Chain A
Amino acid sequence: MAPKVLEVKDLATQFKTRDGIVHAVNGVSFELQEGETLGIVGESACGKTVTVLSILGLIPSPPGKVVSGSAHYLGKDLLTMSDEEIRFIRGAQISMVFQDPMTSFNPVLTIGRQVAEPIEIHQGVSRKEALERAGELLALVGIPNAKERLSDYPHQFSGGMRQRAMIAMALACSPTVLVADEPTTALDVTIQAQILDIVKRLRDQLGMAIIWITHDLGIIAGLAQRVNVMYGGFIVEEAPVKELYAHPQHPYTIGLLGSLPRLDASTHTRLVSIDGVPPVLMKKPTSCPFAPRCPFVMDRCLQENPPLLSFDTHHRVACWVDPKTGGARA
């Protein structure tokens, strides 16, 4: 097995609001191996983004606070690092791509200056050299006339080009881990496909590990090796991608997979959805957070929150119920 680059243990993040404390992430643990692509899926507000922002120390504080846990990057805990130390990791070794390429660029600086920024910060080269390198990066992500377009402003780039430039910026210092927070959600499907191709190509070229956050199970299927399914600030199921699609164990995963539109379904089939709404996390849940929406719900689900337990060698699930039988798990 490849060495671990990132090991997150029992991470919990809370936000203080006027109405009380929001438990956004409640004890999340996962690992990331070198060169591996890990997908994190789940619906909006289930804690996907907060998890990765916590790891990078980017939770706005106040009101947010990482209350427990650790996140070891190559043996060092990111959560206990000083601001100065973690700044050297951000952008150089762990970098991030955001969801909306339209707002992630500073409108008054040229694309070149912005793509060159991590190089300037971390590699201590002159601005000219950094710009030159930025030109190469833009060419790498497939922007035509990359050299000339360095002096363009963000508004002169289309959405797809901006997202590519964003990826170029994230790759500028050849990071070990790339965190992609729904990078294709704001793009139309053809551009999505292009971006995915670029990411796959660069992953093979550069050998970096990727954490890919999305709510699109279709993207994960073709990209990731392992998937974490999150719900209500918990990881509810973790499995290799093929295993997850073939034998989903958590009722929520089953629901998610069931609500995907299928090409082979008859055109008159109604799209399946999961009833109910995701929980508002104002209290630390003492029962299973999915219980109110779960078709398999039992008494135990309402009394105890199931821990994430091994189901198979590489497959973990947090559920009291065996969805095959509808009875309790053995």
Chain B
Amino acid sequence: MSAQTGVLKAGAGGMPLTMKRESLTADAFRRLIRNRAAVVGGLIVLLLALIAIFAGQIAPKSYEVQVLIDNNKVPAWMVSLFSSMAPYAKTTTDYLLGADYVGRDLFSRLVYGSRVSLSVAFIGPIISLLIGVVYGSISGFFGGRADNLMMRIVDVLYAFPTLLFVILLMAFFRSTFAKPDPGSFAYGLSQLDARMGGMLFIFMGIGFTAWETMARLTRGQVLSVREKEFVEAARTVGAGNGRIMFRHILPNIVGPLVVFESLSIPTYITFEAFLSYIGLGVNPPTPSWGSMIAEGGSVIRTYPNQAVFPALALAITMFAFNFLGDGLRDALDPRLRGTQ
């Protein structure tokens, strides 16, 4: 759908002579940018993406080099903010937000930590859309026995607790196959995981479970659209199954799917943060907001700055994605088409 803006010249009274032609995407975009919260959310997401991409340039220090002499150092302004630290805090001007318990720069770790959250925010939906939409479409489109079987499989997987599954996955692959048997599949997988800083299994965990809801949603939407008369009309002009699915049905259901997915991004981010918090997420020293909150949490009474900032970053990110998702939902709602 290309943006069609065939606005004709305005008539004498400033009234347009013909109705403005606008494609559905252009219309939705116009309504999205009118929603202030969504725009703010979108800008924050954009900013986060830039920070994640240019983390190497933005971070003043390395995220992994430990300067043990600087451990738990706090900048002076932080001490005035949290005055309880005054009696024992070693102040510094070297570190923007202070250093952690082994003397790593908190700010740099925060910047690099955005990479993990953001990759989860993008990889999660991609996996879930790829598997879920294809699975749900096939199920809904062909119906009958295939549909029944496919949905029962989803039911079974659905009943399996996500968290338990991911914990088992991590425990099994990481500890059992980390060292022995070079060349085996599991060994290769753990190596890949290690090279990705432990994110592979997080992606797999999210991917294995996130698509199920998506598949159900897609199936329901396909079911409601495939009986429409225009689908039959498409059949009478000789369109095959593929064309009907991708040309006629998918564009009609993409709105709800996008909205659902954008609203579930925060869930993926929390999930990663949670896994890292309980120590099953990224491998140290790779920073993740979740693991930073865990480390900072243990010293929250003595050095509150170590937990507050990653928590703040996580909260802002979640808010931003939620606002953006809400805005998308309103913008793509077909009942609001053409309105302000």
The answer to whether A169 has its CB under 8 Å from any CB of chain B is yes
Residues 83-133 of A contacting B (Cβ, < 8 Å) = 87-92, 95-96, 98, 100, 103-110, 117-118, 121-122
Residues 249-299 of B contacting A (Cβ, < 8 Å) = 251-252
Does B6 lie within 8 Å of A148, measured CB to CB? yes
The answer to whether B61 has its CB under 8 Å from any CB of chain A is no
Note all chain A residues with C-beta closer than 8 A to B248: 106, 109
Would you give the shortest CB distance from A316 to chain B, in whole angstroms?
29
The answer to whether B195 has its CB under 8 Å from any CB of chain A is no
Q: Which of B234, B238, B247 has the most CB of A within 10 A?
A: B238
Would you give the shortest CB distance from A208 to chain B, in whole angstroms?
15
Note all chain A residues with C-beta closer than 8 A to B237: 90-91, 95, 117-118, 121, 169-170, 172
The answer to whether A286 has its CB under 8 Å from any CB of chain B is no
Does A121 lie within 8 Å of B233, measured CB to CB? no
Does A58 lie within 8 Å of B235, measured CB to CB? yes
The answer to whether A80 has its CB under 8 Å from any CB of chain B is no
Would you give the shortest CB distance from A170 to chain B, in whole angstroms?
8
Does A90 lie within 8 Å of B238, measured CB to CB? yes
Give CA–CA (A117, B238) in the complex, Å: 9
Give CA–CA (A170, B238) in the complex, Å: 11
Q: Which residue of A lies closest to B235 (CB)?
A: A58
Give CA–CA (A71, B239) in the complex, Å: 21
Give CA–CA (A58, B239) in the complex, Å: 12
Mask of B198-237 contacts with A, CB within 8 angstroms, 1/0: 0000000000000000000000000000001110111111
Q: In the complex, which range does the number of interface residues on chain A fall in?
A: 20 to 34
Q: Which residue of B lies closest to A166 (CB)?
A: B233
Known contacts being A104-B233, A105-B230, A109-B247, is A151 close to B240, with CB within 8 Å? no
Note all chain B residues with C-beta closer than 8 A to A156: 19, 21
Known contacts being A62-B144, A117-B234, is A87 close to B24, with CB within 8 Å? no
Q: Contact check: which of B23, B236, B238, B251 meets A88 at CB < 8 Å?
A: B238
Known contacts being A98-B229, A104-B229, is A118 close to B6, with CB within 8 Å? no
Known contacts being A108-B24, A109-B247, A152-B21, is A56 close to B6, with CB within 8 Å? no
Q: Which residue of B lies closest to A105 (CB)?
A: B230
Note all chain B residues with C-beta closer than 8 A to A100: 229
Note all chain B residues with C-beta closer than 8 A to A117: 234, 237, 239, 247
The answer to whether B84 has its CB under 8 Å from any CB of chain A is no
Known contacts being A106-B248, A109-B251, A153-B24, is A98 close to B233, with CB within 8 Å? yes
Would you give the shortest CB distance from B65 to chain A, in whole angstroms?
54
Would you give the shortest CB distance from A166 to chain B, in whole angstroms?
8
Q: Which residue of B lies closest to A148 (CB)?
A: B6
Would you give the shortest CB distance from A117 to chain B, in whole angstroms?
6
Would you give the shortest CB distance from A124 to chain B, in whole angstroms?
12
Q: Which residue of A lies closest to B240 (CB)?
A: A87
The answer to whether B243 has its CB under 8 Å from any CB of chain A is yes
Give CA–CA (A109, B144) in the complex, Å: 28
Note all chain A residues with C-beta closer than 8 A to B144: 62
Give CA–CA (A306, B144) in the complex, Å: 39
Would you give the shortest CB distance from B338 to chain A, in whole angstroms?
9
Q: Which of B24, B229, B237, B243 has the most CB of A within 10 A?
A: B237
Q: Which residue of A lies closest to B253 (CB)?
A: A108
Note all chain B residues with C-beta closer than 8 A to A56: 236
Give CA–CA (A103, B230) in the complex, Å: 6
Residues 22-38 of B contacting A (Cβ, < 8 Å) = 23-24
Give CA–CA (A307, B232) in the complex, Å: 34
Note all chain A residues with C-beta closer than 8 A to B119: none
The answer to whether B62 has its CB under 8 Å from any CB of chain A is no
Known contacts being A104-B229, A106-B252, A107-B252, is A95 close to B236, with CB within 8 Å? yes
The answer to whether B4 has its CB under 8 Å from any CB of chain A is yes
Mask of A6-46 contacts with B, CB within 8 angstroms, 1/0: 00000000000000000000000000000000000000000
Would you give the shortest CB distance from A47 to chain B, in whole angstroms?
18
Q: Which residue of A lies closest to B247 (CB)?
A: A109
Give CA–CA (A87, B144) in the complex, Å: 22
Known contacts being A103-B230, A151-B21, is A108 close to B238, with CB within 8 Å? no
Give CA–CA (A117, B247) in the complex, Å: 10
Does A92 lie within 8 Å of B238, measured CB to CB? yes
Q: Which residue of A lies closest to B144 (CB)?
A: A62
Q: Which residue of B lies closest to A117 (CB)?
A: B237
Note all chain A residues with C-beta closer than 8 A to B19: 156
Note all chain A residues with C-beta closer than 8 A to B21: 151-152, 156
Does B238 lie within 8 Å of A87, measured CB to CB? yes
Q: Which residue of A lies closest to B22 (CB)?
A: A153
Does A90 lie within 8 Å of B236, measured CB to CB? yes
Residues 142-179 of A contacting B (Cβ, < 8 Å) = 148, 151-153, 156, 166, 169-170, 172
Give CA–CA (A92, B232) in the complex, Å: 16
Give CA–CA (A89, B237) in the complex, Å: 9
Note all chain B residues with C-beta closer than 8 A to A110: 4
Q: Which residue of A lies closest to B231 (CB)?
A: A106
Note all chain B residues with C-beta closer than 8 A to A148: 6
Known contacts being A98-B232, A98-B233, A104-B233, is A118 close to B251, with CB within 8 Å? no
Q: Which residue of B lies closest to A96 (CB)?
A: B236
Give CA–CA (A110, B23) in the complex, Å: 9
Note all chain A residues with C-beta closer than 8 A to B247: 109, 117
Q: Which residue of A lies closest to B225 (CB)?
A: A106
A-B contact pairs, 11 of them (CB 8 A): A91-B237, A96-B236, A98-B229, A106-B234, A107-B230, A117-B237, A121-B237, A148-B6, A151-B6, A153-B24, A169-B237
A-B interface, 9 closest residue pairs, ranked by CB to CB distance from nearest: A91-B237, A91-B238, A118-B237, A103-B229, A96-B236, A90-B238, A106-B230, A108-B251, A104-B233
Assuming A90-B238, A108-B251, A169-B237, what are 9 further A-B pairs, CB within 8 angstroms?
Answer: A58-B236, A95-B236, A96-B236, A106-B230, A106-B252, A110-B4, A117-B239, A118-B238, A121-B243
Question: CB within 8 Å of B: which residues of A?
Answer: 56, 58, 62, 87-92, 95-96, 98, 100, 103-110, 117-118, 121-122, 148, 151-153, 156, 166, 169-170, 172
